[in-house]
Chain A
């Protein structure tokens, strides 16, 4: 991992480029090495003249130590494997090296050249391998550095020149040039390298918020992407972001720059988001048929459960999901830990699966499968039918699923693609009605179909709902 810092004296500027070694307080005549927890850092000058001086910070990472040591576990699983980019790509490791090796230069004081330390200098920084992750992509380097007065040159690195069709990697070579105070420049790199990489090799705790405020002094306060910087720097921990914001005298915080993704908005005209409308319509159907005791199978993080919980009409609520993680999120969303015993008896969560029969799901008034069936392989739908209609066998079953005919109304959605990566299929109204009708006949239910969301003349509604009832059969 490598960083070079170049000071170039423009003709007539009167600047002696060799001042760089004084400003950095690193001797030009030898290679200086520093031991770090993650390996060794070396500083040397490949070029050193009055016109132009370049300091190189080379970080030799101990790749095995990084993986084997328990202290480096903050990095979202990347360090579970020996094959990782941490020894190569500029990241929080480089920030740590900067903080250790060039700490005094980052304070902006210099005994020998106080006027240079305090003034913007013609600097050039080069990082041969910079990692940029996430939706913000490669533009992010420009977004982050340009507002700080840098001219940003970014050259993407090919994934593998032997396989050109694979395109570029997530890495690029970055060169920043501009007239910036040296200490500011170093502190900007210190903060922004892990922001670009969007990860840290250690656990992020309260100290980090303090550190961000300190290192951000004099440039971060007015940065247009301050919120994004804080979020990524603080490993997306909301409470820490708030803490850092409080430390930095806050101007008007710009809108959250959420990473974009497809959102199922109903053509922009609906005041109520589709997911809310869906839950409301499901609840209306349950109430219409007097279903007080309800199982939400495939409850996910609890979107419907929270609405059921808030409504005293529902006297017994069971959320079941195949994902243990979703159940944890649901428990948090429902604040189950804070509930009294009586409240906890009213609502419970079960780890279960829609393709296995589960006796625990039997004996309720209704079972809801809201946006679930499309996440099950078509070949396993018979098992789902069996588990729901023969196993749990409530008197009422409510199912919702996307209506694929409506997909043409989503301009962001490529033709023929589905609304979610995990959807195994999306059905037309006819397909859903055929399948549901056959299931109803096989298991002795009557079925009724309704649309959810705004109606389009030919495409119907974005979501379709089937209401199965035993007593109506």
Chain B
């Protein structure tokens, strides 16, 4: 038996003269789709497997398909003669461009056998001269194959060897997907032995010491350590660190990847010429003192390290300088270079250090990537990556990240052992000009991380959909710090004669484990966000600026001078209510409703509602008149007349419904119902009693501007309480009131099924005429209208809510504008996608 092994993914190139039995060999050893045969591709592109004139096109197609397979990480076997160096070179290039290993398998069959087989091929026969030529090319190639770039070359040099061949497949060296941890991933140690020992102890490892008292292993009952590299240089005891880590690795208690410092150390030990900077000279001295045997062990250990590790089913990747997604689990020189050194552009920064490409900023991969290499001030997650080098040798900390828990455990450096060449960077990268917004911030696809609460993905089309509105119609982004989420109605009511009813809203919250809700009157106005600030500078605004008032799509409501007067009055009320002191802030963002609705919607009311109303009343009353006249002549049309009378009544009722929204434009009222954010704080976790209390204080101080919101606290466990709420809703809506909003009393709540909707609206029967049309309550209409799905509306409401909360948080803690703007833009982008506008 002639057994050999190939990597389980990557490229295999079969090399052999026509008639050497490559296809038979491939069929025996590889799967149906794994082998790409050049003859087959000739057939695909030219209808004839032997047509040499389509060779170029056939190889084009073959390379394309092979590329797609390699991209997907599949083993791919190319069945072509590949006896010419140029043909092989293009395949090696292909493997390289996908960062996979190329393996050559040569079927070196006596030329006579090939010729003999060729004779039996009938019309598929190849000219003898071609076989002879291929044979000579193969002979010449055999000597050079190993230098061409194949990771392994297997030559099967007899029919017997080919016949007996057994091919096994092995995992790549970086493939630790079957290792599930839990792990403690430890950042750059840089010779800081004392800190490493402290950290391991803090993590719950028990140190093992040799007879000289030197740490040679550390054991944890469940966990294993993973070192991100750069064990040596800078710190006081590189050999001590190496001894401990090598001991742990040998005992199976730790894994490690190499850092650039190990790489350089190996080269120095091998006698290569390297510059002895950054503490390497000291390390070499210390190793010299340890003796040649230890040095050799170090050399062997460092050489054995694989560029990066793929762990836990591919969900975790550890590489010293991080790794872009397409390099995960791959093997090539550039993968190794990236993993050890990061991507450098060749430029130097003002400290003379290489400028690195901020790969983590663009990382969108599913695997968490843990790395070190760049000392940063703190461990922070950036797009599912985290840098664990917190500059221990520079007097910072030695940090570990517990996986899968994702807690950071760190110990402070006991001393500063080296002088940093440049100040430690924020993990978020160099600070950009905070007020400058860039297309890159708002161009999709975007993954917006709404704090710890989840990530909202925006497609390119969604993002593009909001660009025009945001650029041309929204108020200035500097004071556009929040957009409210859309609000879902209750599910269609099971009751006859109702499209919406409180029952369904209560049922929703019960289902999500909520026992107490607040029912708030739904004002007949427009959703509005009011920002008031005593310190314009906080919002990068000009002197004398008071704040902003904008719609739920970010537009200004009022002409500047009207807005200014309103803001002035609002300031006075907030001042008088003592809100600045209560909040410990000199700015506040309030969520509320601006009345009357006609302020924003007068043209909508006139052009749409009143217009339809005029047509409806005129048309239906004319029809009633005529039918009555006809009935007078004795025609039988009772049913038609009845229906038409009902329509006429509906038309009048419809008109009444919109007329309630026409108010005096000089009597502007703001009904606040939530305090969204103030300096350093957001308030989504305060119960609604607190919020409504503040709203009431404002209404008491300035009834000419602030309007109170009627509300009722309802226990969902009590039938009496919910009945009372239903009666209250009926009273509110009987005469056309818009309805109510039901919210969890505790405010932001995570239930057993995830985040709970912040509010569900239950609109009044009469009011709904201006949404669903004058005749919507007719039985046949209502039956059909009840078929509506609230799911998509709710999932969008939730995404928008989470983005809005994050925008507020970022504002409260003073993060740069572009970050806030991304979140706000995200809400608008979600809104740009059409959804049933009646919901």
* B439 near A169: Cβ-Cβ < 8 Å: no
Tell me, in angstroms, the Cα distance from A391 to B635 when the chains sit together: 78
Tell me, in angstroms, the Cα distance from A29 to B773 when the chains sit together: 34
* A159 near B438: Cβ-Cβ < 8 Å: no
Asked if B48 CB lies within 8 Å of chain A CBs, one says no
* B471 near A322: Cβ-Cβ < 8 Å: yes
* B629 near A46: Cβ-Cβ < 8 Å: yes
**Which B-chain residue is minimally distant from A325 (CB atoms)?**
B468
Q: Give A162-174 as 1s and 0s: 1 = Cβ < 8 Å from B's Cβ atoms.
A: 1100100111010
- Shortest C-beta distance, B610 to chain A (Å), equals 5
The DSSP consensus for interface residues of chain B is helix
Asked if A415 CB lies within 8 Å of chain B CBs, one says no
Given A128-B619, A353-B439, CB of A159 within 8 Å of CB of B611: yes
* B619 near A31: Cβ-Cβ < 8 Å: no
* A48 near B472: Cβ-Cβ < 8 Å: no
Tell me, in angstroms, the Cα distance from A82 to B776 when the chains sit together: 9
> Which residues of chain A have C-beta atoms less than 8 A from B635's C-beta?
29-31, 44-45
* A64 near B784: Cβ-Cβ < 8 Å: yes
The residue among B606, B615, B773, B776 with the most chain A CB atoms within 10 A of its own CB is B615
The DSSP consensus for interface residues of chain A is mixed
Given A56-B630, A58-B623, A80-B837, CB of A173 within 8 Å of CB of B618: yes
Asked if B775 CB lies within 8 Å of chain A CBs, one says yes
Asked if B419 CB lies within 8 Å of chain A CBs, one says no
* A47 near B633: Cβ-Cβ < 8 Å: yes
Asked if A420 CB lies within 8 Å of chain B CBs, one says no
Tell me, in angstroms, the Cα distance from A380 to B821 when the chains sit together: 14
Q: Give A1-32 as 1s and 0s: 1 = Cβ < 8 Å from B's Cβ atoms.
A: 11010000000000000000000000001110
> Which residues of chain A have C-beta atoms less than 8 A from B662's C-beta?
163
Tell me, in angstroms, the Cα distance from A31 to B440 when the chains sit together: 67
Tell me, in angstroms, the Cα distance from A160 to B776 when the chains sit together: 22
Given A83-B612, A323-B468, A351-B467, CB of A359 within 8 Å of CB of B439: yes
> Which residues of chain B have C-beta atoms less than 8 A from A157's C-beta?
614-615, 618
CB-contacts of B616-656 with A (<8 A): 616, 618-620, 622-623, 626-627, 629-630, 633, 635-637, 640, 643-644, 655
**Which A-chain residue is minimally distant from B556 (CB atoms)?**
A377
**Which B-chain residue is minimally distant from A63 (CB atoms)?**
B773
* B436 near A88: Cβ-Cβ < 8 Å: no
Bin chain A's interface residue count: 35 or more
CB-contacts of B759-810 with A (<8 A): 770-776, 780-781, 784-785
* B633 near A169: Cβ-Cβ < 8 Å: no
- Shortest C-beta distance, A374 to chain B (Å), equals 12
**Which B-chain residue is minimally distant from A126 (CB atoms)?**
B622
> Which residues of chain B have C-beta atoms less than 8 A from A44's C-beta?
627, 630, 635, 637
> Which residues of chain B have C-beta atoms less than 8 A from A42's C-beta?
637, 640
> Which residues of chain A have C-beta atoms less than 8 A from B616's C-beta?
85, 87-88
- Shortest C-beta distance, B189 to chain A (Å), equals 38
Asked if A248 CB lies within 8 Å of chain B CBs, one says no
Tell me, in angstroms, the Cα distance from A357 to B435 when the chains sit together: 11
- Shortest C-beta distance, B772 to chain A (Å), equals 5
Asked if A379 CB lies within 8 Å of chain B CBs, one says yes
For chain B, the count of residues having a C-beta within 8 Å of the partner chain is 59
* A89 near B468: Cβ-Cβ < 8 Å: no
* A63 near B476: Cβ-Cβ < 8 Å: no
Asked if A210 CB lies within 8 Å of chain B CBs, one says no
* A386 near B468: Cβ-Cβ < 8 Å: no
* A31 near B436: Cβ-Cβ < 8 Å: no
Asked if A408 CB lies within 8 Å of chain B CBs, one says no
Tell me, in angstroms, the Cα distance from A31 to B471 when the chains sit together: 58
Asked if A360 CB lies within 8 Å of chain B CBs, one says yes
Of A83, A171, A322, which one neighbours B770 at CB under 8 angstroms? Answer: A83
Q: Give A151-188 as 1s and 0s: 1 = Cβ < 8 Å from B's Cβ atoms.
A: 00000011110110010011101000000000000000
- Shortest C-beta distance, A67 to chain B (Å), equals 8
> Which residues of chain A have C-beta atoms less than 8 A from B623's C-beta?
2, 58, 128
* B615 near A386: Cβ-Cβ < 8 Å: no
* A169 near B614: Cβ-Cβ < 8 Å: yes
Of B610, B620, B837, which one neighbours A169 at CB under 8 angstroms? Answer: B610
> Which residues of chain B have C-beta atoms less than 8 A from A358's C-beta?
438-439
Given A31-B636, A379-B476, CB of A322 within 8 Å of CB of B468: yes
> Which residues of chain B have C-beta atoms less than 8 A from A390's C-beta?
436
Asked if B442 CB lies within 8 Å of chain A CBs, one says yes
> Which residues of chain A have C-beta atoms less than 8 A from B640's C-beta?
31, 42, 58, 60
Tell me, in angstroms, the Cα distance from A356 to B655 when the chains sit together: 45
Tell me, in angstroms, the Cα distance from A1 to B651 when the chains sit together: 13
> Which residues of chain A have C-beta atoms less than 8 A from B436's C-beta?
357, 386, 390-391
Given A87-B616, A160-B655, A359-B440, CB of A47 within 8 Å of CB of B629: yes
* A1 near B785: Cβ-Cβ < 8 Å: no
> Which residues of chain B have C-beta atoms less than 8 A from A450's C-beta?
none
> Which residues of chain B have C-beta atoms less than 8 A from A356's C-beta?
437-439, 441-442, 471
> Which residues of chain B have C-beta atoms less than 8 A from A29's C-beta?
635
Q: Give A338-353 as 1s and 0s: 1 = Cβ < 8 Å from B's Cβ atoms.
A: 0000000000000111
Asked if A434 CB lies within 8 Å of chain B CBs, one says no
Asked if A376 CB lies within 8 Å of chain B CBs, one says yes
Tell me, in angstroms, the Cα distance from A82 to B773 when the chains sit together: 5
- Shortest C-beta distance, A60 to chain B (Å), equals 7
> Which residues of chain A have C-beta atoms less than 8 A from B771's C-beta?
82-83
> Which residues of chain B have C-beta atoms less than 8 A from A170's C-beta?
611
CB-contacts of A382-404 with B (<8 A): 383, 386, 390-391
Tell me, in angstroms, the Cα distance from A88 to B438 when the chains sit together: 50
Given A64-B785, A89-B619, CB of A166 within 8 Å of CB of B471: no
The residue among B436, B643, B644, B773 with the most chain A CB atoms within 10 A of its own CB is B773
- Shortest C-beta distance, B416 to chain A (Å), equals 39
> Which residues of chain A have C-beta atoms less than 8 A from B606's C-beta?
159, 166
Tell me, in angstroms, the Cα distance from A83 to B607 when the chains sit together: 11
Tell me, in angstroms, the Cα distance from A386 to B635 when the chains sit together: 77
* B618 near A129: Cβ-Cβ < 8 Å: yes
Tell me, in angstroms, the Cα distance from A88 to B465 when the chains sit together: 35
Asked if B84 CB lies within 8 Å of chain A CBs, one says no
* A129 near B615: Cβ-Cβ < 8 Å: yes
CB-contacts of A351-380 with B (<8 A): 351-360, 375-377, 379-380
> Which residues of chain B have C-beta atoms less than 8 A from A83's C-beta?
608-609, 612, 770-774
CB-contacts of A73-115 with B (<8 A): 80-85, 87-89
> Which residues of chain B have C-beta atoms less than 8 A from A162's C-beta?
659
Asked if A407 CB lies within 8 Å of chain B CBs, one says no
* B615 near A131: Cβ-Cβ < 8 Å: yes
Tell me, in angstroms, the Cα distance from A45 to B612 when the chains sit together: 28
- Shortest C-beta distance, A287 to chain B (Å), equals 29
Tell me, in angstroms, the Cα distance from A87 to B774 when the chains sit together: 11
Asked if A50 CB lies within 8 Å of chain B CBs, one says no
- Shortest C-beta distance, A88 to chain B (Å), equals 4
The residue among B471, B623, B662 with the most chain A CB atoms within 10 A of its own CB is B471
> Which residues of chain B have C-beta atoms less than 8 A from A84's C-beta?
612, 773
Asked if B26 CB lies within 8 Å of chain A CBs, one says no
Asked if B464 CB lies within 8 Å of chain A CBs, one says yes
Asked if A68 CB lies within 8 Å of chain B CBs, one says yes
Given A46-B629, A56-B626, A83-B609, CB of A88 within 8 Å of CB of B619: yes
**Which B-chain residue is minimally distant from A167 (CB atoms)?**
B606
Tell me, in angstroms, the Cα distance from A88 to B611 when the chains sit together: 11
Of B442, B619, B637, which one neighbours A129 at CB under 8 angstroms? Answer: B619
A-B residue pairs, 3 tightest by C-beta: A128-B622, A88-B619, A82-B773
9 contacts between A and B (CB under 8 A): A58-B640, A60-B640, A83-B608, A83-B772, A87-B775, A157-B614, A166-B606, A322-B468, A359-B438
Query: Using a CB–CB distance below 8 Å, which chain B residues touch chain A?
Result: 436-442, 464-465, 467-468, 470-472, 475-477, 606, 608-616, 618-620, 622-623, 626-627, 629-630, 633, 635-637, 640, 643-644, 655, 659, 662, 770-776, 780-781, 784-785, 837-838
Given A157-B618, A171-B611, list of 11 further CB < 8 A pairs? A31-B630, A31-B636, A48-B633, A63-B774, A81-B837, A82-B772, A166-B606, A322-B468, A352-B439, A390-B436, A391-B436
